[in-house]
Structure 1
């Protein structure tokens, strides 16, 4: 197990380095000059040259890359070109909002998916199964950038039950969390249904039924516990995806998280902030996937022995 963890940590470190390098290179290939954005159209060439030198943008790209990687090794994400403050401060201010939105979306997804998937599996081939799978198919098919405005029109503007945007009011998280968690709920429901149907045909389920155990014990204790392994795996993988999908949702609802900061920084050509936001989201995704693999290997020893 220790050797497996060492290999896993090495893979995470390598992938993180590749992602950070790609982010740096791709951001510097994007057209646009951050100095021109900061100073405006009427700035003189001398002022632009002075600011570019102060920001280190006059250096060759390989020297900028070395400075960037050196800063990462020391935990320094750089200085924001627009906000004129350390990027780590901006990340520390915005990341809790994104984390809160992700956790609430995950909770909503689980609360929707597990009853829906279990109901569909218990009534497979009947109308509850068809209704559940139709609802899950709609959840997968509807994009966030459409679902979000529709929820705003119905529940915020039409019924005036919830806030339109922002994070100041107590229930501001509900609409963005529902928007973000709907697709995940649909995926989990379909996966849980498929996994339960496979477990229902196992010999130990027939044995439990032959012993006269009540259906609640057979399906709730024996079947559900054995069907959760692939669902937990998908849940962990999709948790990382939620962090990336939060970008669109945060823009739609003006949620003050990393996604909103990322989009604003792209428009301002604020290279350090863009690099840091993408890096944080990528590292979170990689970390969640790594932890999911550890949990999966712990639940199923065949995985770590195969490594």
Structure 2
């Protein structure tokens, strides 16, 4: 397996990871002193100074950043200002909810997108192809927040079929997943269709048809095997986008994931939880990027052949 692309992705991800951590640390400090949010309005200046000293907010900014980096190495981001628990404990309670939402969304998106893309690619320009292409173009373009509001109005308010927000049984998952799946489904159908159309017009497919190979085998075995690499890459990017951008959906649906936690922490200036949440999310995306490159290299026959030739 060739590791050139993997090494480049690791390097780029590390640079982005470091830049993100530095930016979030200093930007979070620009929101001001959180003492006013956690102390009574009539709290004395002495009490405010004591609060700031207790949480290291009176230290020079460079010293606060140094303490943060030292804590980062130990995975110790300090204590949540809101409830006094370790920040990582608070974040890890929210992580499974976001990961579960992302996993359910991508499982449905991939399972539906590949067959739809294959069906459209088998007859380019047909009525089915036009319908699938137009519908998925719309779903890939619709803003998540607008779709969430429409889904709530239709399925929760007017029809009363589903709960508006919160957590519980399977019914509470339907609307968040339905809204989140729209964009990756549309994008993956477009990508799988385009990749299969290109493969079905290639020389080896024409040769297989000349030999009498069935169309189903040509599409499902030969062409799909070569078209899967771009689909895998885009699916990984979409999964990372969900992890990174589920803030709006989690807030609208009252989902106790890391996105909603981050919004609450920003509003309350809970610096430790903000930084722990950003680092955790960035770490997941970093690992996902590496896995995407591994899977892409493994799934792409051309890269495997180039690697063998290089040896």
TM over 0.5: yes
* Corresponding position: 1:20 with 2:21: yes
Could you tell me which residue of structure 2 aligns to residue 212 of structure 1?
212
The alignment partner of 2:172 has SS state of coil
Partner of residue 106, structure 1: 106
Equivalent pair of 1:165/1:254 in contact (CA under 8 Å): yes
**1:87 aligns to what?**
87
SS at match of 1:172: helix
Aligned to 1:49: 49
Partners of 1:276 and 1:16 in 2: CA distance: 13
> How far apart are 1:211 and its partner, in Å?
1.2
Alignment of 1:161-172 (within 5 A): 161-172=161-172
Describe the SS at the equivalent of 1:298. helix
**Structure-2 residue corresponding to 1:260:** 260
Question: Runs (4+) of structure 1 moved beyond 6 Å?
Answer: 303-306
- Structure 2: how far apart are the matches of 1:22 and 1:283? 16
Question: Would you say the 8 A contact 2:9–2:289 is kept in 1?
Answer: no
More deviation in 173-182 or 248-257?
Answer: 173-182
CA distance in 1, matches of 2:167, 2:11: 38
The aligned runs of 1:1-307 (5 Å cut-off) are 4=4, 9=10, 12-29=13-30, 31-299=31-299, 300-301=303-304, 302=306
Cα distance change of structure 1 residues 235 and 303 upon mapping to structure 2, 3 Å threshold: farther
Query: What is the CA deviation profile of residues 34-75 of structure 1, one whole-angstrom value per residue up to 9, with x for unaligned ones?
Result: 111111432221111110000110000100001000001011
Q: Quick check: 7-16 or 232-241, which moved more?
A: 7-16
Is the alpha carbon distance of 1:288 and 1:41 closer, same or farther for their aligned partners in structure 2, counting shifts above 3 Å? same
State the Cα distance separating 1:280 from its structure 2 match.
1.5
Unaligned stretches of 5+ residues in structure 2? none
Cα RMSD for the two superposed structures: 2.1
In the alignment, the residues of structure 2 paired with residue 136 and residue 152 of structure 1 have an alpha-carbon distance, to the nearest angstrom, of 21
Structure 1, unmatched stretches of 5+, are none
Count residues in correspondence: 305
- Alpha-carbon displacement from aligned partner over 1:281-301 (angstroms, at most 9, x marks no partner): 222112211211122223324
Residue by residue over 1:5-43, the C-alpha shift from the partner in whole angstroms, topping out at 9 and shown as x without a partner, is 6676555444433321221112112x3321111114322
2-structure distance, mates of 1:231, 1:141: 18
Q: Secondary structure at the match of 2:289?
A: helix
